[in-house]
């Protein structure tokens, strides 16, 4: 009897500055989705050397997965002549804006930022009912939704001409959060809210139930909150200076997810370590300097 096949299309991207975190994101994805028959992973990269590219392919080999590595120049083609905000000098954040033409054979994708840890199977996320909406995303207290984890229905995307809409907006509308503002504006009435477990910020667990319920303006019960905190599907380490275990200076003492992170993934292949002395300096300065200054300073330490 033939084995039932399950196909999942995942897209991510990272530059050399996010190489360590990106590698762990890939490994966690493969580790938690061993039962997915066909897992198509495409990675946009920028500034990676041959050793780093070989390491990424080795991760795929360890899990018997083929990894498609794509150059970031494919994204730049769609942004030529536009005055847009770059992220650490890179176009990579805009890859999720053009997946319908970059992957013409795909009907649906999950786009993941590189600063995530997959903690469970993504089958539930892949099969989420978008109820006719073009994308699925998780609401956040500060913006309508966070663009770090996005399910994109590329068939609906193409029918609605979203590529043309993005091309018109990019370079014209001013943004503070790179591509996220464009996504929130474009899909404000065209996104399906997904459960928070699919894009869980560690800060939610630190804040505690009362504060989370207040800032999220949700009617979540304490039992539901505790279930969400104890076993999220995707953990998104997107806060500077807090809860980012793949940066030594950001490890939170005694925080169980940091320990799980290292226990689970250091078994396979050791990831490169940054300069600990510089990292420790950055960790101190993050509490002193304004966020923008610290981001620029930290970019010097992330090599």
Is pTM beyond 0.85? Reply is no
**Hey, what's the torsion of the CAs at 33, 209, 130, 115, to 10 degrees?**
-50
Q: What are the E-state strand segments in the chain?
A: 7-15, 38-46, 67-71, 108-112, 116-118, 135-139, 145-153, 191-193, 234-236
- How far apart (Å, rounded) are the C-alpha atoms in residues 159 and 129? 18
Place of tokens 């923008």: 292
Average pLDDT of the chain, as a whole number: 80
Can you give the pLDDT at residue 39? 96
7-238 is classed CATH 3.40.640.10: no
pLDDT at 5 over 70: no
User: Would you place residue 290 in the very low, low, confident or very high pLDDT band (cuts 50, 70, 90)?
Assistant: confident
pLDDT at 61 over 70: yes
- How far apart (Å, rounded) are the C-alpha atoms in residues 185 and 273? 38
Can you give the pLDDT at residue 33? 94
pLDDT at 298 over 60: no
Residues in CB range of 69: below 8 A, 6 or more apart: 43, 45, 53, 56, 57
Can you give the pLDDT at residue 119? 87
- How far apart (Å, rounded) are the C-alpha atoms in residues 7 and 137? 20
pLDDT average, residue stretch 5-16 = 89
More confident residue, 260 or 18: 18
Q: What is the pLDDT of residues 157-210, one digit of tens each?
A: 999 999 888 877 776 555 555 678 889 989 999 999 999 999 998 878 877 888
Q: What is the pLDDT of residues 130-169, one digit of tens each?
A: 999 999 999 988 788 999 999 999 999 999 999 888 877 7
Write out the DSSP string of 21-49: HHHHHHHHHHHHTTT-SEEEEEEEEES--
Can you give the pLDDT at residue 77? 65
**Positive or negative: CA dihedral 22, 27, 32, 33:** positive
pLDDT at 44 over 80: yes
Q: What is the pLDDT of residues 226-259, one digit of tens each?
A: 888 888 999 888 764 455 666 554 554 445 555 5
């Amino acid at each position: 009897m033939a084995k039932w096949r399950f196909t999942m299309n995942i897209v991510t991207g990272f530059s050399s500055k996010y190489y360590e975190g990106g590698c762990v994101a890939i490994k966690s994805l493969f580790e938690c989705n061993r039962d997915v028959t066909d897992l198509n992973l495409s990675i946009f990269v920028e500034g990676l050397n041959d050793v780093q590219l070989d390491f990424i392919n080795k991760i795929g080999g360890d899990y018997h997965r083929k990894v498609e590595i794509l150059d970031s120049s494919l994204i730049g083609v769609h942004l030529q002549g536009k005055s847009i905000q770059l992220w650490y000098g890179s176009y990579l954040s805009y890859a999720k804006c053009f997946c319908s033409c970059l992957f013409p054979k795909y009907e649906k994708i999950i786009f993941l930022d590189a600063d995530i840890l997959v903690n469970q199977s993504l089958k539930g996320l892949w099969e989420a009912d978008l109820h006719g909406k073009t994308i699925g995303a998780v609401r956040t207290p500060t913006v309508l939704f966070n663009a770090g984890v996005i399910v994109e229905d590329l068939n609906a995307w193409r029918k609605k001409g979203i590529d043309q809409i993005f091309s018109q907006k990019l370079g014209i509308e001013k943004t503070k959060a790179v591509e996220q503002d464009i996504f929130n504006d474009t899909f404000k009435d065209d996104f399906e809210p997904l459960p928070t477990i699919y894009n869980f910020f560690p800060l939610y667990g630190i804040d505690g139930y009362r504060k989370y319920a207040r800032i999220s303006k949700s009617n979540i019960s304490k039992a539901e909150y505790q279930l969400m905190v104890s076993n999220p599907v995707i953990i998104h380490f997107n806060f500077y200076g807090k809860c980012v275990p793949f940066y030594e200076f950001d490890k939170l003492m005694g925080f169980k997810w940091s320990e799980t992170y290292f226990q689970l993934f250091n078994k396979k292949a050791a990831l490169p370590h940054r300069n600990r002395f510089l990292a420790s300096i950055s960790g101190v300065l993050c509490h002193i300097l304004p966020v923008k200054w610290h981001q620029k300073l930290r970019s010097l330490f992330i090599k």
